[in-house]
Each structure stands twice: as structure tokens, then as C-alpha cells.
């Protein structure tokens, strides 16, 4: 191995006591590939096991915490105890390869396709549709329903503990329910759960508190809690960088194991006027947390040198998403001095070689701009 890449391979111990063998993480990515009964499929187990051999930690695709929170076809369920064996099969497949297994837990809110949720009824903080063609107007959640969903995040965390995971990641990013409560676009309430920035933070922080309570009550060994968020929204009104820095400060006080910043590009800068445009979103967030909680960076890191440049900004953890789909042996190739052989484009003939399940492969090929696809004939 080239010595300059050694920082990737230093061990890291989280606040909870969970220790990972290196600083590289598989980012959570939807597979669309679960079984019709919402259990984890054999194809998914093979896909995850292949990509768990090199990284220190794998964050799974999201699992939904209530029936009306399902966000994708082929999403595996975490909303009831009968799903614990399914969840356990995935944790085992990851851990057998030497990586820590983290279950991402979420509720899609107004982003749920109506055909995937009971009675076609989508829900959110307020009865405001997403800004996309044909988006349904969701029902505004009552206070009792909100409390039930908060408890459901805790119950799915308990299932993760019983299934043998090493932690959970609360999905507060990408426009789903936790973010919908924080966003002034989707949260127009004037009660305990909305109406000011402070009140819009209450649901995300209540979810964090409930997950922490459940971990304290049920985990018999170190169990980590992470939180993923998107720094800004394109909508008006929408989440601004200034809003996010207030949330980041509140999250940094919660003694979480890490904050995971959801970005398509690690080096992206704020879209809004706050801050200086010379500073990236990640730099502003790092400055705000001031070492109180580890920050995980992600976004369009393809080569080993790009990863090294990202680490040099001071982030202690780096998640690889699409790159691990394109190159499952990314970590091993760097470790073995073969970083020049890392593939950075996906070949249309490579599905079987890469152990990618059919639904995910179809999505890769038919979602323009998502993956770099080789044009070689």
C-alpha cells in the first residue's frame, strides 16, 4: 500500500465504544430489491456481503418504521417483530465479512408512493405536496400520530438490537419525514411541532431522544447512533444553511456517534446567501460542531486520491456510495497498492460480475445522470 493512504486504514472508536477497523464506510443506498413480503432477498445478501469485505462499516438501505412510511418498491421492512429474522440475515451477512452493520431507519412521509402505503394515504407534517409533478397532498399528522411514529423509530431500533446490528442511522435527509418536519416548506404547523425554527427541530430531536432511550434500555453491548441530514433545500421556503447550522448545533449536544452529511458532491458549497461561498457545506458544518461529534462526509469520491483530498479537510469518516457499486473491491485495491485499477464507470455488461440485483441494475441503467456508465462498445 502506498503510505499516503494509511489515514484511510486507521481504526476509529465511536463515543458508544463501537470500533471500526478503518475510516471507510459504505453509504446507505436504496436497492429496490427486497422480496415481495418485504423481507431481505438473497440477491441483497450477496450484494451486501460482496461490498462488506473492505470497509469498516456498512450503513444499509433504509428500512421503514411504520407501514405508512414505506418509500420504495422492494424496500425491506423493519416495522414489526416478524421482520427480525430478515433484518438479522442482513446484519449477519455484513458482519461475517468483518464490517460493522448499521441499520438506517426512516419514514418517507409525503414522499411515499400512495400505492405502497395503507389505503393510499400519505402523511406529513402538514398538508403540503412535494414540488414534483403529480405529487399527492399528504394528510397532516395529528399529535397522537406523531407520538406513535416517534415510538416506532424506537421500536425499530429495538429490533435492530435484537437482530444483531452494531447501530442505527436515523435518516433525517433527502426530503423524507424527519426532514419534512424540519423544513419550512413541508411544515406549516402552528403548534408544538412547527411555527418557528426551534419548533421545527422538535420532531427530529424527539426521534433522537427516543432512539437513545431505547438503546440505553435494550443494548447489552456498544451500539451506535448516527444521524443523516441534507444541509439545504431547493424549495422556497426551504431549509437554508443557516437553519442547518442551528440543527447541527443541537444534534452535536445529543452525544451521538456521528453526523452524516448527505451530499451528491463532497465539495459542494451553499446555495443560499449565508456564509462565504468559498467554504463548502462540510467545512461550515465541521466548524459548527467544533469536534463535539464526528462528521461523516460523502459525495462523488471516486479515486483514492480524491478520498485522500477529502480526508485532508479533517473529516474523520468517509462514506463511499456509488463507487462501491461500481468497484466492490475499492478498499482492498487501495490496501493492496492497486488503486490505479479502480473502476470509475459501470459497464452495461457487468451486472453478474458486480453481484447487483435486477431491480437495482434496472434503476442504474434507466436513471440518467445517477451513475457514470461506460460508453465502450
Active site residues: 176
Long-range contacts of 362-370 (CB under 8 A, 24+ apart): 362/32, 363/32, 364/325, 370/322
For 150, other C-beta atoms within 10 Å of its C-beta total 17
Residue 139, φ and ψ in degrees, nearest 5: -80, 140
Q: DSSP letter string over 289-349?
A: HTTSS-EEEESS--SHHHHHHHHTTT-SEEEE-HHHHH-TTHHHHHHTT-GGG---SB-TT
In the chain, DSSP finds a helix count (H) and a strand count (E) of 13, 12
Spatial CA neighbour of 169 closest among 252, 90, 259: 259
- Which of the 8 DSSP states describes residue 136? P
First to last CA, the chain: 33
Residue linked to cell 470497509 = 55
Please classify residue 119 by burial: count the beta carbons closer than 10 Å to its beta carbon, then call 0-12 exposed, 13-18 middle and 19+ buried. Answer: exposed
What CA–CA distance (Å, rounded) separates 34 from 359? Answer: 9
Residue 227, SS3 per DSSP: strand
Residue 100, SS3 per DSSP: strand
Amino acid at each position: 500500500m502506498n503510505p499516503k493512504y494509511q489515514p484511510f486504514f486507521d481504526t476509529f472508536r465511536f463515543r458508544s465504544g463501537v470500533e471500526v477497523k478503518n475510516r471507510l464506510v459504505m453509504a446507505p443506498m436504496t436497492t429496490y430489491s427486497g422480496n415481495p413480503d418485504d423481507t431481505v432477498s438473497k440477491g441483497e445478501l450477496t450484494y451486501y456481503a460482496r461490498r462488506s469485505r473492505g470497509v469498516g462499516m456498512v450503513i444499509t438501505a433504509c428500512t421503514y418504521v411504520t407501514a405508512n412510511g414505506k418509500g420504495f418498491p422492494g424496500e425491506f421492512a423493519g416495522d414489526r417483530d416478524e421482520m427480525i429474522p430478515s433484518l438479522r440475515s442482513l446484519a449477519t451477512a455484513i458482519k461475517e465479512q468483518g464490517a460493522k452493520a448499521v441499520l438506517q431507519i426512516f419514514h418517507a412521509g409525503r414522499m411515499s408512493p400512495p400505492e405502497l402505503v395503507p389505503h393510499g394515504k400519505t402523511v406529513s407534517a402538514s398538508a403540503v405536496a412535494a414540488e414534483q409533478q403529480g405529487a399527492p397532498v399528504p394528510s397532516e399528522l395529528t399529535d397522537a400520530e406523531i407520538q406513535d411514529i416517534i415510538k416506532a423509530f424506537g421500536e425499530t431500533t429495538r429490533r435492530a438490537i435484537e437482530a444483531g446490528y452494531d447501530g442505527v442511522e436515523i435518516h433525517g435527509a433527502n426530503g423524507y419525514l424527519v426532514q419534512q418536519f424540519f423544513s419550512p416548506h413541508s411544515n406549516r404547523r402552528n403548534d408544538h411541532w412547527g411555527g418557528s425554527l426551534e419548533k421545527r427541530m422538535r420532531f427530529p430531536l424527539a426521534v433522537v431522544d427516543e432512539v437513545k432511550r431505547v438503546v440505553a434500555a435494550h443494548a447489552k453491548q456498544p451500539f451506535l447512533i448516527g444521524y443523516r441530514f441534507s444541509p439545504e433545500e431547493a424549495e422556497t421556503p426551504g431549509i437554508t444553511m443557516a437553519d442547518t447550522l442551528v440543527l447541527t448545533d443541537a444534534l452535536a449536544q445529543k452525544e451521538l456517534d456521528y453526523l452524516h452529511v448527505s451530499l451528491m458532491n463532497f465539495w459542494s458549497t451553499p446555495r443560499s446567501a449565508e456564509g462565504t461561498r468559498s467554504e463548502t457545506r462540510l467545512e461550515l458544518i465541521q466548524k459548527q460542531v467544533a469536534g463535539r461529534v464526528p462528521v461523516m462526509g460523502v459525495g462523488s469520491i471516486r479515486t483514492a486520491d480524491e478520498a485522500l483530498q477529502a480526508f485532508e479537510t479533517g473529516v474523520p469518516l468517509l462514506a463511499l456510495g456509488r463507487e462501491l457499486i461500481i468497484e466492490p473491491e475499492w478498499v482492498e485495491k487501495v490496501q493492496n497498492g492497486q488503486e490505479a485499477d479502480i473502476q470509475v464507470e459501470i459497464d452495461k455488461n457487468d451486472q453478474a460480475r458486480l453481484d447487483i440485483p435486477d431491480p437495482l441494475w434496472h434503476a442504474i441503467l434507466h436513471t440518467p445522470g445517477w451513475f457514470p456508465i461506460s460508453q465502450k462498445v
